[in-house]
Copies of this chain bind each other. A is one copy, B any other.
Amino acid sequence: MSVPTPGAPAAHRTGRSTAVRGRRGGQAGSREHILDTARKLFAEHGFEGTSMRQVARAAGVDPAMVHHFFKGKDELFAHSVELPADPEQVLAGVADADPDRRAELIVRTVLRLWESPAQAALLAFLRGSIGSKAKTALLREMVERRVISRIMASVPGPPEEVALRGNLVATQVVGLMMVRYVVRLEPLASAAPDEVVQLVAHTVQRYLTGPLT
């Protein structure tokens, strides 16, 4: 927060200078470059397998720069994976869709996200989150409260059953992400998104609103 964007200074009604005075921040594209590099490395080697010095070296930057922009490794990691982690925005249309036709939209949304430039960040987030028990707990919290709740919005049925259905949807979607983007099994990893949607949406729809047994 409070990253001053270059542009019109604040007060110029009176002659008094309330404007920012010194050098402007976020200029010589280092911060973003460091973040991009960190994303790639976290995606490849996970959280523990990546060091700040590796990031600095790969970014062609002094190690102290990384600490200058981000207090520590945790904050660097957090900023590396925060962009794609706005489920509210990504799942905007899902909660409004008719539950009986929601599956295709869900799968399509997941695929679009993973095919986007956010892939490295998502991989980093996944590798980091699965790497340890503590981080997995945070992932669980996030998935439960911010993803599944939205996906299951206005799905009819007793709460316990809806929760179970949400879990089942998760098994298929998580499995798809793992096989296609993490483990990269062929031919699924190279299949066209439309084909993938056709293959798994049916299952997701059954878990959402179909018969459970």
Chain A contact residues, CB within 8 Å of chain B: 43-49, 126-127, 130-133, 136, 139-140, 143-144, 148, 160, 163-164, 166-168, 170-176, 178-180, 182-188, 191, 198-200, 202-203, 206, 212-213
Q: How far is the CA of A123 from the CA of B171 in the complex (A)?
A: 17
**A172 near B170: Cβ-Cβ < 8 Å:** no
**B187 near A164: Cβ-Cβ < 8 Å:** yes
Known: A46-B130, A49-B132, A148-B185. 17 other contacts (CB 8 A): A45-B133, A126-B130, A127-B132, A130-B130, A130-B131, A130-B182, A140-B185, A144-B185, A163-B187, A164-B188, A167-B185, A171-B200, A172-B203, A174-B175, A174-B179, A198-B213, A199-B212
**B136 near A131: Cβ-Cβ < 8 Å:** no
Copies held by the complex = 2
Task: Pick the contact of A49: B48, B179, B188 (CB < 8 A).
Answer: B48
Q: How far is the CA of A143 from the CA of B189 in the complex (A)?
A: 14
Task: Pick the contact of A170: B44, B148, B179, B206 (CB < 8 A).
Answer: B179
CB<8 Å pairs between A and B, sample of 5: A45-B131, A126-B130, A140-B184, A168-B188, A174-B183
**B170 near A173: Cβ-Cβ < 8 Å:** no
Contact residues in B for A139 (Cβ distance below 8 Å): 183
Task: Pick the contact of A187: B44, B48, B126, B167 (CB < 8 A).
Answer: B167
Contact residues in B for A185 (Cβ distance below 8 Å): 140, 143-144, 148, 166-167, 170
Q: How far is the CA of A132 from the CA of B45 in the complex (A)?
A: 4
Contact residues in B for A167 (Cβ distance below 8 Å): 179, 185-188
For the complex of A and B, list the 3 residue pairs with the smallest distance between their C-beta atoms, beginning with the closest. A175-B175, A48-B48, A171-B175
**A132 near B44: Cβ-Cβ < 8 Å:** yes
**Smallest Cβ-Cβ distance to A160: which chain B residue:** B187
Q: How far is the CA of A154 from the CA of B132 in the complex (A)?
A: 39
**Smallest Cβ-Cβ distance to A49: which chain B residue:** B48
Q: How far is the CA of A144 from the CA of B187 in the complex (A)?
A: 11
Contact residues in B for A136 (Cβ distance below 8 Å): 182-184
Contact residues in B for A44 (Cβ distance below 8 Å): 132-133
